Amino acid sequence: MLNVKAGEIAGMIWNALNGTEGLTGKEIKKVTKLKTDKDLYLGLGWLLREDKVSTGEIDGDIFITLN
């Protein structure tokens, strides 16, 4: 069941990032309406494993871009 949730969240994150030059974790949570950091990181882990995104840090927040 967690695999399904991770895939769904990854899709939401990918869609939020598509067409942007990148977003912070806070911005992604706002756009996708994710409620917890746990959900954000679950989806990001999926995308990182698939080499779909790259991460960095800006002002203490994670910054994510599509590859």
Confidence tier at 3 by pLDDT (50, 70, 90): confident
CB 42 within 8 A of CB 6: yes
Q: What is the mean pLDDT of residues 32-41?
A: 96
The answer, yes or no, to whether residue 34 has pLDDT greater than 80, is yes
The per-residue pLDDT for 4 is 87
Helices marked H in 1-67 — which ranges?
A: 2-17, 25-32, 37-49
